[in-house]
Amino acid sequence: MKTLSDCVTAHIPAMQRRRRDLHHFAESGWVEFRTATLVAEELHRLGYQLALGRAVIDADARMGLPSEAVLAQQEQRALAQGALPQWLPSFSGGFCGIVATLDTGRPGPVMAFRVDMDALDQNESSAADHLPTREGFASCNAGMMHACAHDGHTTIGLTLASVLKEWAHQLSGTIKLIFQPAEEGVRGAKAMVAAGVVDDVDLFTAIHLGTGVPAGEIVCGSDSFLATTKLDVTFTGVGAHAGGNPEQGRNALLAAAQATLALHTLPQHSGGVARVNVGVLQAGTGRNVVPDCALMKVETRGVNNQVNDDIYQQAQRVIAGAAAMYGVDHAITLMGGARSCTPSPAWVAFIHQQAEALGLFRSVVDTKAQAAGSEDATYMMERVQQRGGQASYVIFGCDLAAGHHNARFDFDETVMATAVQTLATLALNQAQFGGAR
């Protein structure tokens, strides 16, 4: 008899092709047009019931959306790169979300798996010893790179869809596969939650590859998420002749520079880890002009919602103070946010037990003290838990060529099969879980 392992193994060559295609055509948050059409086509082909675009993304709850002009231009770019025209209208305007449902017709819980699809706003290394460059699948889109393994996550989601279809006769309840846009900058999940996509979910699992967890290890209930707030700050001053009458100017560049230095002094909190990063700073228009404009892209983070909120409050004071020093106006726009979150112990214990039994891992742990990132899957987890469901966040350790968000980031593709087999096992053995509502 064909085992689950045989079944997953048969998918390995296709997984590598899929991942490398997605990697090559990397698409940043809210412009995952090509990716979303390919995902929709595959899920449709497999026979899943699809909910797309506006049906799964609340327009007003989207954060950090690019301008209309950028969205339109990116849609054209995606079309030229092979986006499927029949699916594109569903995602047009920045609605690249997909929820695929498989109703087994047998009673049981609603089980959801969430993967993300977006790349980062950064360039990929062109060094000859960077494997994606060497093998010809490095990103062809300037300023967009899969440097956080979401190409792998999307591939895992699609392969899981295929494998679960093959084993559908042994499943019960309902399977929901959630493909989320704009995780980077923590912008997309909130809009999917607002559209109600997890309101009926009993058992929720989000995943990530890598994150510094060693190959062969699985973290069954990662809880080291920093609460975070993302903000864009614009300073508006007055331009003037830099030689003739600089005193008539109001220098937005200096205000932004002061704010940047002051912001980076903030992360001190007795409540625990706090962070501030000014990741982008742009200012001025010309060498001999007193700069009348500046833009800062800023994030605050904290070990919990309270610490992040405190740092964010201070950040607002610093920004306002720097603006006042130079007599310039400022405006703050919220671009994203995520919360800290604790996975559900019973669901984590079940994942742990299933992972142990699989025998695929050298080490099975519940949590891990590690370099902390943020995740907007926490919005989904929180909603599921509020409604009486169980939620967890699973990390599959793997070898990395360089750290996340680095131009040389790459992950060992063999981890994808391990992830699919583990998630499929959770779905197949879900009836053994006693903790569902």
Ligand X SMILES: O=C(O)C[C@H](NC(=O)Cc1c[nH]c2ccccc12)C(=O)O
124 near ligand X, rule: CB under 6 A: no
211 near ligand X, rule: CB under 6 A: yes
The total of other beta-carbon atoms located within 10 Å of residue 412's CB is 16
d(CA 293, CA 190): 31
CA-based torsion, 84, 86, 87, 88: positive or negative: positive
Least Cα distance to 102 among 150, 37, 189, 169 occurs for 169
Range 402-431, binding ligand X (CB under 6 A): 404
337 near ligand X, rule: CB under 6 A: no
The residue among 64 and 291 lying less far from ligand X, judged by its C-beta, is 64
Number of residues that bind ligand X (CB under 6 A): 14
Q: How far is the CB of 190 from ligand X (least distance, A)?
A: 13
Residues 181 and 188: beta-carbon distance below 8 Å: yes
Least Cα distance to 35 among 127, 89, 97 occurs for 97
What would the two tokens of residue 256 be?
Answer: 């932004």
How far out from the chain centre does Cα 418 lie?
A: 21
User: In this chain, which stretch among 181-189, 251-259, 322-330, 360-368 interacts with ligand X, using CB under 6 A?
Assistant: 181-189
The total of other beta-carbon atoms located within 10 Å of residue 13's CB is 9
Range 42-71, binding ligand X (CB under 6 A): none
221, 249, 373, 397: which one binds ligand X (CB under 6 A): 373
Q: How far is the CB of 296 from ligand X (least distance, A)?
A: 16
Dihedrals phi, psi of 99, to nearest 5 degrees: -125, 120
The residue among 347 and 393 lying less far from ligand X, judged by its C-beta, is 393
261 near ligand X, rule: CB under 6 A: no
98 near ligand X, rule: CB under 6 A: no
- Helices (H) and strands (E) counted in the chain, each on its own, are 13, 12
d(CA 348, CA 376): 19
Sheet-wide strand order for 227-236: 274-283, 293-302, 227-236, 329-338
The residue among 357 and 371 lying less far from ligand X, judged by its C-beta, is 371
d(CA 430, CA 346): 12
Q: How far is the CB of 211 from ligand X (least distance, A)?
A: 4
The residue among 179 and 326 lying less far from ligand X, judged by its C-beta, is 179
148 near ligand X, rule: CB under 6 A: yes
Q: How far is the CB of 404 from ligand X (least distance, A)?
A: 4
Residues 289 and 252: beta-carbon distance below 8 Å: no
Q: How far is the CB of 223 from ligand X (least distance, A)?
A: 11
228 near ligand X, rule: CB under 6 A: yes
354 near ligand X, rule: CB under 6 A: no
The residue among 375 and 410 lying less far from ligand X, judged by its C-beta, is 375
Residues contributing to the site for ligand X (CB under 6 A): 148, 184-186, 208, 211-212, 228, 371-375, 404
